[in-house]
Amino acid sequence: DRKASIGLSVLLVKNIRMAEGARIGHLNWFMGLDNLSMREYSTIGNLNWFTAIPTDKHFHAERKRDLIIGCHATITGRHYIDCQEAITIGEFTTIAGVRSTFLTHAIDFRRNKQIAAPIKIGSYCFVGTGVTILANGSVGDYSVVAAGAVVLKNDFPPHVLIGGVPARVIRENIDGL
C-alpha cells in the first residue's frame, strides 16, 4: 500500500505484502523468507533479525518460510525470529521488550535430521521480554507470556498467563487483568 513504509533495512524476501499503515523500522535484516505479510497498521520496530534458509528444490522445498503479522500487531526491537517454517502473529498482539527468540527448527537426534514446525501467537496477546518460543509452540488468544518464559508446546489455551522454564499456565481466565 502507498501508506506503508520501510526504514533503512535489508529485505531479501521473495514476496512482500504490506497493507495500509504497515511499517518496518530501521536496521532490520530479513533473509531467506518466502513471504512477509503485514496487515493494516502492523509494525516491526528497529534492529530485528528474521532469517530462513532459502527455498531450494533439493533442501526442504516443502516448508513455508512465511512471517504473517495481523493488523495492529507489533514486534518491538532487537528480537531474533527464525522463519524456517511459518510464524503467525495475531491481530493486536505485541512482541514486547528485547531479545525474544522464535525458533521454528530443531534437530531430531533419533533420525539425525533437521525438523521444522510453525509457531502461532494468537490475537490480543502480549509476549514479554526475553521469551523463547520453540518449534510447534503456540499461544491462545488473549494470553500473556511472562518475561523469560520458554514455550515448548502447542496447547496453551486462550485467556491464560504463561510463564516459567519450561512454560506452564500460571493463571487461567485472565480477563480483566
Task: Give catalytic residues, as residue numbers.
Answer: 105
Round to whole Å and give the CA distance between 92 and 4. 17
Instruction: Tell me the β-bridge partners of 121.
Output: 89, 139
Max Cα separation, the chain? Answer: 50
- The single-letter DSSP state of residue 54 is P
**How far is Cα 1 from Cα 89, in angstroms, rounded to an integer?**
20
**Residue 110: CB partners within 8 Å, gap ≥ 6?**
none
